[in-house]
Amino acid sequence: MKYFKALVVGGGLAGMRAAVAFNMKNVSVALLSKVHPLRSHSIEAQGGINAALGNHPRGKFDSPKLHGYDTVKGSDYLADQPAVLKFTGLAPFIVREMESWGVPFSRTPEGKIAQRPFGGAGFPRTCYAADKTGHVLLHTMWEQVVKYKTYAERKNIQIFDEWMVTRLIIDAGKAVGVVAMNIQTGEIDAFMAEAIVWATGGMGRIFKNTTNALINTGLGMAIPYWAGVPLKDMEFVQFHPTTLLGPNILMTEGCRGEGGYLINKDGERFLANYPDSSKSMEISPRDIVSRNIQREIDKGKGGYPFAGGVKEGPFVGLDLRHLGEARIQERLPAIREIAINFAGVDPVYEPIPIQPGTHYAMGGLDTNENGQAPEVEGFYAAGEAGCASVHGANRLGGNSLLETLVFGKIAGEHAADYINAKETSVMTSKGFVAEVLEDEKNRLKELKNKNGKEKHAKINDELQQTMRDNVWIFRNEENLTKAYNKIQELKERYKNIGIQYKGDVMNYDLIWALEVQGNLSVAEAVVAGALNRKESRGAHFRLEYPKRDDENYLKHTIIRWDGEKAQLGWKDVELGIWEPKERKY
């Protein structure tokens, strides 16, 4: 058994920022991650990070308050407004701090951090490094961890990479530790700590057609959910309008921010034909653009014309040709490379075939504006896994990288203060933790020894397909019920899986089996929330209830695990600054 003052689970931007926050308050911390931190999904972010710096000539009058307003409006008024103000208020500091640590942001002609327009934002506010913003942020964050690791005058930051957490331990309402498995050796151990920051990222892989990394499964959120931390607003899953046909790799919103067009098979900029996107066109918010692309595809207008003829299918064209090679190469080099490598299309000469895909979980583990779980002492969540409710029903592009760093910092600092002020120690739970460790060892052993006929990969494929077919951009009772029932069937079948490989070293057979189990529980929570919310708000669109219904549904969905399945509840939204209004762009 190991003991640290603080634990961080997850080595993405949120987790590493939290670890640095602990270190700055001189609290010893262990960071556990199932992949080396540099391999975390944050690396894939392209477009940028929002902060009201006012560096763009058109952004002079921008402010954190206006950033807050755009965020709340974008959220379709489901965001908690005090949390949003805290979030946008810290944004300029966070971006400058990252610059001071070495992030190579792109620059304005005066040498300031460059900013570009993004959907739903009143001003160009998205700070970027070409189209590789996540890459440079994650590498710089890791560089800082490496730096602080060597500071002799500070307490330890210890990295446990390729340690997969499988269980959260809560004793009498207090988070006291986790159980984790060393993927390289199969060793299973308990880690105790006075406080835990959970930063396991998103769960896009419960769906087919997602922009998310292969490792972004439901398991990260499922572990605390199984242990008693409720999930919030899980039905709100963002669909990104522009993902590459085939592997669904993201084509950043920056493509449209830089002036790219969306065209149908007639070469028409079809967004002009829909009232909710006719004004802002390509830089309308993501939920609106995704729906209108899907409508266009459903009408049989999918495709695009180009010099080689007309291509048709379940996609539309993202047309960058008019930007010219030089600008594409300067601002969107990775996009060009991805389109060439993964789809054989050079955007200088041909539109990129794109379709909507799931991209981001607005919901997550329920926390307050300090990143703290209200019901479990010593437990915090940050980044995409958490839900302090700054995105509500729809997140604005560029706000999620910001969320990882803001809430990583806030949660880490708050938890450090909590630890420093604490007079008792979780070590009194040592006996309990030892029991849970034994229990978890047995559970994993039993799982590994399973020789049933079902393949967990097959169950996962069917789950992803059903989520793609029934819990997509347009939802209705019938399809959601179908998905719910299918998930129950898959949960039954899961009991009869087989694990072929019985070894201890790099047992991915076992790891995938665990991931699939997490997927099933989290997918069920998404569907349960979607069934229960009989209105359309932000990313959640119900065909039978196409309007927002503030009277009945201006509230957060809360989902608890009862040991077998999801149980539904509600929680108030914190308003107080801006009155809910119809969302128009």
Taking the C-alpha atoms of residue 50 and residue 327, their distance in angstroms, rounded to an integer, is: 22
CA dihedral 287, 292, 293, 297 (to 10 degrees): 140
Binding to other proteins by CB under 8 A, coded x per residue (else -) over 341-380, reads xxxx------------------------------------
User: What phi-psi label fits residue 310: left (phi over 0), alpha (psi between -120 and 50 degrees) or beta?
Assistant: beta
| Strand, helix or coil for residue 113 | strand
- Catalytic residue at 67? no
390 binds, among ligand FAD, other proteins, none (CB under 5 to 8 A by kind): none
346 binds, among ligand FAD, other proteins, none (CB under 5 to 8 A by kind): none
- 456 or 540, CB closer to other proteins? 456
Shortest spacing between CB 127 and other proteins, in angstroms? 10
Binding to other proteins by CB under 8 A, coded x per residue (else -) over 70-99, reads -----------------------x--xx-x
Taking the C-alpha atoms of residue 412 and residue 31, their distance in angstroms, rounded to an integer, is: 12
The reply to whether 543 sits near other proteins by the rule CB under 8 A is: no
Give the residues lining the site for ligand FAD (CB under 6 A): 9-15, 32-35, 37, 40-42, 44-49, 133-134, 164-165, 199-202, 211-212, 216, 219-220, 250, 252, 359-360, 383-385, 397-401, 404
**Closest by alpha carbon to 17, among 377, 422, 416, 426?**
416
Q: Which stretch binds other proteins (CB under 8 A): 143-151, 227-235, 400-408, 542-550?
A: 143-151
The reply to whether 547 sits near other proteins by the rule CB under 8 A is: no
536 binds, among ligand FAD, other proteins, none (CB under 5 to 8 A by kind): none
| Strand, helix or coil for residue 360 | strand
Shortest spacing between CB 405 and ligand FAD, in angstroms? 9
Beta strands in 134-236 (DSSP E): 157-161, 163-171, 174-182, 188-198, 231-232
Taking the C-alpha atoms of residue 29 and residue 31, their distance in angstroms, rounded to an integer, is: 7
Phi, psi torsion values for 466, nearest 5 degrees = -65, -35
Contacts (CB under 8 A) with other proteins, residues 218-247: 246-247
Beta strands in 362-437 (DSSP E): 364-366, 379-381, 386-387
Cβ proximity of 262 and 274 under 8 Å = no
Tell me the residue length of the chain.
585
399 binds, among other proteins, ligand FAD, none (CB under 5 to 8 A by kind): ligand FAD
Binding to other proteins by CB under 8 A, coded x per residue (else -) over 477-506, reads ----------------------xxx-xxxx
Taking the C-alpha atoms of residue 37 and residue 145, their distance in angstroms, rounded to an integer, is: 10
Taking the C-alpha atoms of residue 239 and residue 237, their distance in angstroms, rounded to an integer, is: 6
284 binds, among other proteins, ligand FAD, none (CB under 5 to 8 A by kind): none
Kindly name the residue from 256, 336, 533, 537 that is annotated as catalytic. Answer: 256
Contacts (CB under 8 A) with other proteins, residues 440-479: 455, 457
165 binds, among other proteins, ligand FAD, none (CB under 5 to 8 A by kind): ligand FAD
Kindly name the residue from 56, 125, 240, 391 that is annotated as catalytic. Answer: 240
Shortest spacing between CB 305 and other proteins, in angstroms? 21
Cβ burial 77-96 (10 Å sphere, 16+ → b, else e): bbbbbbbbbbbbbbbbebbe
Neighbours of 345 (CB within 10 A): 21
- Catalytic residue at 240? yes
Cβ proximity of 107 and 114 under 8 Å = yes
Enumerate the active-site residues. Answer: 240, 256
Q: Residues in the site for other proteins, rule: CB under 8 A?
A: 35-36, 38-41, 43-44, 53, 55, 93, 96-97, 99-102, 104-107, 109-113, 129, 132, 135-136, 139-140, 143-144, 146-147, 184, 213-215, 246-247, 249, 334, 337-338, 341-344, 455, 457, 499-501, 503-509, 512
